[in-house]
Every structure is written in structure tokens, then in C-alpha cells.
Amino acid sequence: MAHARRLLPLAGFALFLAFWYAVALSGVFAPGQLPRPDQVVTTLVDRFANDGLWRDLQLSVLRVLIGVVVGCAIAVPVGFALAWYRSLRAMFDPLVSFFRALPPIALIPLVIVYLGIGEGARLSILIYAAFFSSVVVIYEGAAATDEIYVRAARSMGASQVEVFRRVVLPLTVPQVLVGVRVALGVCWATLVAAELIAARRGLGATIQNAANFFQIDMIYGGVILIGLSALVMDRLLAVLMRRLVRWQERVER
Amino acid sequence: MSTEDKLQFRDVRTGFGSGGKRVEVLDGVSFSVAAGEFVSVLGPSGCGKSTLMSMAAGFSRHDSGEVMVDGRPVTGPDHKRGVVFQQYAIFPWMSVAKNIAFGLSLKANRHSKEETAEIVARYVHLMGLNGFEDALPKTLSGGMRQRVAIARAYATDPEVLLMDEPFAALDAQTREFMQELLHDANQQERRTAMFITHSVEEAIFLSHRIVVLSRRPTSVHEVIDVNVPTPRTAESRLSDEFIQLRRHLEEVMRSMSTFAPAGRLS
């Protein structure tokens, strides 16, 4: 049973592929409008071998990583400050919600005006997305620190700094990681938008180039690579989380 | 007031709300705990027992009166007063040994590695935790977790141990076992202790004296010396002194209950 359950995600992909084949072969779409999965794979293999698709993949992964790392590195202290100081939270909570709701793609024209069309502009979009998606998760986690552990530490003589460093921080690690995971997902979702800013390389740029030349199988290929990269990185992070927060009690489902 | 008084409550008053909505909780509570004495505070729910503990620990303030340790007013939490909470307050991300060692690694009370290892070993043994040193709290039962919490409180060598219904969440059997364990530990390592409980039996079994609190607005209803000989064992619960005292206290508690006083099954 447990073994079967591990295979279920694969079965999901298999079912999806079967559906794709069925639609592609059914003739609902004109030939060339919907490539078969194997045609997409062939295109991908060719582009990897002859067209430096690796470089695009690398660049996009790097951009997402920088966005997540920098965005979360800002979100962690800000999240803690918001959790710690009630008045700060009262002041900035609505603002954070306001900016979080803005789709990054809507900000692109402004980013171009102020930051130009260089790498910095693209990264700033990703950092923006990572920061606003994770800061709320982080400060809610930090604000929910169970007072009982703080009291226990204080009763043993812990100073404010010791309480923060040795109790509040470790207690919030799981929630910070959840924030990072959310940021990762959002960054991948924002990548194509970020690469709309005059990027020549990257998976988002590849998709746009393919669209300009009506290479539908490459559009599909790019979409699949983005999805797969996001999936792999999310899984890696999930494994890391399980390692880091082994102490957490979980309700078995 | 004897000079031996370690912990003192003098005419302590507190409440919440103001004006017409003001609710008095503690209405002039006075009692003291002598050095080396184990005192239980027994009272109906909502009478402010835990508030007293919280004041002694330095977590909450009172409106008037004095809470003193060694004749000096309590101003905040301090490693000289160890606390065991009702909720399992051991740190879930630390092993049993690390939990017990925590207080000894703080600036206020730092010990060398060797001393710490020795102290941890002593209290692991005292609380019967041998073999569980590296276990994470999530793998332990409620009773085991409270043993870690008690060991942790003992390890910092506090002058006063404050315990706030530490066994209230445990099942009856574990509870009795824990009472015996704590009693034995306290026979071996005498500490001044204030133990909050709403269980008559628990109060008698553990204490030298019992302070019975009244209903809100709360004052001291009665202070009782427990004359059951020590060291106590499971057998002690069946002794005449024990049963007599229990009958008296159950009667008092029943008379103070908010719910149907007569003919209530307990």
C-alpha cells in the first residue's frame, strides 16, 4: 500500500501524458498547433545539444535562486520586526497586503523606467515577488511563538538576546522555511514576466523567442522545463525542511 | 514571620477591569513557605492559584501587597526560582539532555562542560530518564516530558521550585507515579517548593503544609499541616492520617465548588 502510494504521483504524470497524446492525435487541433509529447522531447533534446538550452536553464535557475535568497534574506528580519513590534505591524500590515496583491508583471514598465533593462531590473522583479510572498508567512510564524517556551527560558535566567537567539529563532525555523518555499513557487511563476524585460537568455526568454517564431513545440518545451525545475527545487527544499525540523510533531495522516 | 521564610506573600491583591466592571481576583492573600518546605496551594478553579505562581516566578505583577523571596521583592524572572508548567514546556527541538542542560548554558548561570555533564547525569538519574538522554520530546509520553521539565528545573539549582499543576494533564495512574517520583526526588534533594494543584490527594501526598484558598475574591481559607509521616509511599495514601485529612479537605473543596454543592458525584 505504502509502495503503491509512492507511485501515485508518477501515475498522475502518465495519465496527463496519455490525455495529451489523445488530444494531439484526435485531430481537434490543426497539425502543427498541438505537438505530441515525443515531438516536444525531440525538440528539447535538439536544443540542449545544439542550441545551448543548458545556458538558458542555468540562467533561469540562477535568477530564481538569487530572487529567493535575497528576497527572503530581507523578509526574515522584516518579518521578525513586524512580529516583535505591534505598532510596526499595525502600520505596515495593510501596506504589505497592498504590495503583495500587485502582480509583478504590472510593475514591469515602472521597473524599466527606474532600473532600465539590465539584469538588475529582472532580478528586482524576482526579489520583489519573493519578499512580499514570504514576509507575511514569516511574520505570522514569528508572531505565533508559544509564550510558554519564552517563559520557561526566562525562568532559567535567559536574557532577551538569549531568548531570541535560542528559543524564538529555532521555534520559527519551520515557518521561515515555509516562507522560503512559498517564495520559490512565486519566483518561478514570476520568471517569465521578469524575463520579459529584454532578456536574451533564460527559459522565459526562450519561450518568448519561440512565440515570436511560432515554434509551438519549443513553447511547450520551455513551459515543461520551468515546471520541472520548480518541481525539483520544491522537492529538494521539502527534503531539507524535513531534515531541519525533525523535532516537529506532526499529525499523521 | 520567621527569618526562615524563603517565599512570602503579604496581603497580595490583584484584579482585572476597572470601575463597575472591576473583578477582584486576589483579595489580600498572605502566607509563606519556609526554607526547605514543600507547600501546596489548593483552591477551586478560577481562584487565582496560577496567578500566585506567576507572581512568584516574576511573570506577572500584583496591584498591592508584597511577593518576596528572602525578604526581597520579586521584580522579574530569575534562575533562582525554577518553574515547572502544566503544559509541557520543554523545548521540542532539543534532546532530553540538551533540555536539562539549557539553564546551565545561559550567561546568568553558566557552568563548565564537565560540570554540566555531571549535573545532567545526576538529574537524568534522579528522574529515571536513563537511556533517553538523546531522545527528542516528540517521542516521549506526557509523564516522561514532565520528568524532563522537573529535571530541567532542578538542574539550575534554584532556591525555590514553583510548580503549576504539573501533573494535571496526565492520566490517573501516571499522575500517582509522578507524585511518588517527585516526592522521592525531594526527599533526596530538598528544595523549597510551592506546588499549585486542585487535587486534594496530590496536595496531601506531596506537602508539608497545604494552603487552602477560598473562592474569588480569594483569600487564604485555611492552612493545614500534613502529619502523614515521610518518606511517603503508595501505602501512605491508605493511612488513617491521610484519609482523615482527605475527608476534611474534600469537604472544604466541595463547599467552595461553584457547581451543585450537595450530592455531587466526584
Lookup: cell for A180: 522560503
* Shortest CA gap A130–chain B (Å): 28
Q: Which residues pair with A132 in a beta bridge?
A: none
Higher pLDDT among residues A200 and B165, named by residue = B165
Higher pLDDT among residues A251 and B20, named by residue = B20
Lookup: cell for A90: 499595525
Closest residue by Cα to residue B29 from B52, B54, B11: B11
Using the structure block, give the residue that is written with the C-alpha cell 483552591.
B43
**Neighboring chain B residues of A148 at a CB cutoff of 8 Å:** 85, 87, 89
The model's pLDDT over A55-113, given as tens digits with 9 standing for 90+, comes to 999 999 999 999 999 999 999 999 999 988 888 888 998 999 899 888 888 888 898 89
- Interface probe for B, chosen from A145, A148, A154, A155 (most Cβ of B below 10 Å), is A155
| Percent of chain B's residues with pLDDT above 90 | 67
Return mean pLDDT, chain A.
89
Q: Return the C-alpha torsion angle B151, B152, B158, B161, nearest 10.
A: -70
Q: How many Cα neighbours within 13 Å face the side chain of B145?
A: 20
Q: Which residues pair with B39 in a beta bridge?
A: B194, B209
Return mean pLDDT, chain B.
89
**Neighboring chain A residues of B108 at a CB cutoff of 8 Å:** 157-159
Say if CB B14 and CB B26 are below 8 A apart.
Answer: yes
Separation CA A61–CA A67 (nearest Å): 10
Sequence-separated (6 or more) residues with CB below 8 Å from residue B185: B126, B127, B150, B154
Is B135 an interface residue toward A (CB < 8 Å)? no
Say if CB A153 and CB A163 are below 8 A apart.
Answer: yes
Q: How many CB pairs under 8 A join A and B?
A: 72
Separation CA A216–CA B32 (nearest Å): 84
pLDDT, average across residues B77-83:
92
Distances (CA, A) of B193 to A39, A141, B2, B12: 78, 36, 17, 19
Q: Is the pLDDT of residue B182 over 60?
A: yes
* Shortest CA gap A138–chain B (Å): 19
Closest residue by Cα to residue B206 from B34, B5, B42, B29: B42
pLDDT given for residue A251 in this prediction = 54
Rounded to 5°, the CA angle B80-A154-A83 comes to: 170
**Neighboring chain A residues of B58 at a CB cutoff of 8 Å:** 154-155
Q: Which of residues 35-74 of B touch A (CB under 8 A)?
A: 57-59
Q: Which of residues 123-182 of A touch B (CB under 8 A)?
A: 148-149, 151-159, 162, 166-167, 170-171, 173
The model's pLDDT over A36-53, given as tens digits with 9 standing for 90+, comes to 999 999 999 999 988 889
Q: Given B76, B92, B102, which is nearest A156 (Cβ)?
A: B102
pLDDT, average across residues B154-160:
93
**Neighboring chain B residues of A156 at a CB cutoff of 8 Å:** 79, 82, 102-103, 106, 109, 152, 156
Reported confidence tier of residue B262, pLDDT bands at 50, 70, 90: very low
The model's pLDDT over A203-245, given as tens digits with 9 standing for 90+, comes to 999 998 998 999 999 999 999 999 999 999 999 999 988 888 8
Say if CB A142 and CB A172 are below 8 A apart.
Answer: yes
ipTM over 0.90: no
| Percent of chain A's residues with pLDDT above 90 | 53
Separation CA B101–CA B103 (nearest Å): 6
- Interface probe for A, chosen from B83, B91, B134 (most Cβ of A below 10 Å), is B91
The model's pLDDT over B14-37, given as tens digits with 9 standing for 90+, comes to 888 777 788 888 888 999 999 999
Chain A's closest residue to B150, CA to CA, is: A152
Q: Are B77 and A151 an interchain contact pair (Cβ–Cβ within 8 Å)? A: yes
Using only C-alpha atoms, chain A has a radius of gyration, in whole angstroms, of 22
pLDDT given for residue B16 in this prediction = 83
Q: Which residues pair with A232 in a beta bridge?
A: none
pLDDT, average across residues B183-205:
93
pLDDT given for residue A1 in this prediction = 57
The model's pLDDT over A169-200, given as tens digits with 9 standing for 90+, comes to 898 888 899 999 999 999 999 988 888 777 78
pLDDT, average across residues B98-117:
92
* Three-state SS sequence of chain B: CCCCEEEEEEEEEEEECCHHHCEEEEEEEEEEEECCCEEEEECCCCCCHHHHHHHHHCCCCCCEEEEEECCEECCCCCCCEEEECCCCCCCCCCCHHHHHHHHHHCHHHCCCHHHHHHHHHHHHHHCCCCCCCCCCHHHCCHHHHHHHHHHHHHHCCCCEEEEECCCCCCCHHHHHHHHHHHHHHHHHCCCEEEEEECCHHHHHHHCCEEEEECCCCECEEEEEECCCCCCCCHHHHHCHHHHHHHHHHHHHHHHHCCCCCCCCCC
Is B103 an interface residue toward A (CB < 8 Å)? yes
pLDDT, average across residues B202-222:
92
pLDDT, average across residues B223-241:
90
Distances (CA, A) of A220 to A105, A188, A226, B256: 21, 16, 10, 76
pLDDT given for residue B102 in this prediction = 95
pLDDT given for residue B265 in this prediction = 43
Q: Given A157, A245, A249, which is nearest B108 (Cβ)?
A: A157
* Shortest CA gap B7–chain A (Å): 16
Is B91 an interface residue toward A (CB < 8 Å)? yes
Is B231 an interface residue toward A (CB < 8 Å)? no
Residue B163: left if φ>0, alpha if ψ -120 to 50, beta else—which one? beta
pLDDT given for residue B258 in this prediction = 64
